[in-house]
Amino acid sequence: MGAAAEQAAEEREEWGGVTPDAARRLVSAAVEAFAERGYHATTTRDIAGRAGMSPAALYIHYKTKEELLYRISGIGHEKALRIMGAAAEAEGSAGERLRDAVRTFARWHAEHHTTARVIQYELQALSPEHYTEIADLRRRTDRLLRQIIQDGADSGEFRADDVPGTTLAVLSLCVDVARWFSSDGPRTPDEVGALYADLVLRMVGAPAGGPGGAATGKSG
């Protein structure tokens, strides 16, 4: 399989729910362009061009440029919420769940850093109604993580004086991966996830992290 076909396969997985094919190609092109230049600096002509169509074709599948952003933001935030939910609902100690949450959440922000960049840094370009809807997904993600940290604090497993503040910091740390991560950089998404999980567990005073813990892994 060639590189182009491979990328197309990846896109089909990430945007699998979007049909028909032309609509999916447009979403994919828009994510690329928005991540690269920002929403406002991206023209509908650019998006259509990347998708191999004329500018007018965009409006057959989406009413406005903002609707494209909304679709991307919705799918991305739902994916992020599902990732956090899977970690939160898993069995295990608070430490194990927190490790899993940070590892998978940070890794997703690295692996899908173009999508993540768009959904995290272009929120203000959404219409007020769409923003309200997306904000709800974000609150739910925050609540899931906060509950994990609260559980650890309640049981004495974590040392977290300010649970909302710690939650905010952990979420902020993971989200900001989308800003600095580059596929050309020295770190793989897996490595970022592992590093961040270790750092966060230490932040809450649970350095050993139970089974699978490797906070001081490489060299001690």
Partner DNA sequence: ACCGGGCCTAAGCGCTTGCTCAGCGGCGCG
Partner DNA sequence: CGCGCCGCTGAGCAAGCGCTTAGGCCCGGT
List residues binding a copy of itself (CB under 8 A): 37-38, 40-41, 121, 124-125, 159, 161-162, 165-166, 168-169, 172-173, 175-177, 179-180, 187, 195-196, 199, 202-205, 207, 216-220
Residue 90 contact among DNA, a copy of itself, none, beta carbon within 5 to 8 Å by kind? none
Q: Which is nearer to a copy of itself, 28 or 166 (CB)?
A: 166
Chain positions 39 to 68 lying near DNA, rule: CB under 7 A, are 42-45, 48, 52-57, 59-61, 63-66
Q: Which is nearer to DNA, 61 or 71 (CB)?
A: 61
Q: Which is nearer to a copy of itself, 2 or 124 (CB)?
A: 124
> 94: Cβ–Cβ under 8 A, 6 or more apart, which residues?
148, 149, 151, 152, 155, 157, 158, 206
Q: Which is nearer to a copy of itself, 89 or 161 (CB)?
A: 161
Query: CB 165 → DNA: shortest distance, Å?
Result: 38
Residue 65 contact among a copy of itself, DNA, none, beta carbon within 5 to 8 Å by kind? DNA
Q: What is the rounded CA–CA span in Å between residue 93 and residue 85? A: 15
Q: What is the rounded CA–CA span in Å between residue 10 and residue 2? A: 12
Question: How many beta carbons lie within 10 A of that of residue 204, not counting itself?
Answer: 21
Nearest Cα neighbor of 164 from 137, 145, 177 is 145
Q: Which is nearer to a copy of itself, 16 or 207 (CB)?
A: 207
Query: CB 169 → a copy of itself: shortest distance, Å?
Result: 6
Chain positions 2 to 21 lying near DNA, rule: CB under 7 A, are 20
**In this structure, are residues 214 and 193 in contact, taking their beta carbons and an 8 Å threshold?**
no
Residue linked to tokens 């599902």:
82
Query: CB 8 → a copy of itself: shortest distance, Å?
Result: 26
Residues near DNA (CB under 7 A) are 20, 22, 42-45, 48, 52-57, 59-61, 63-66
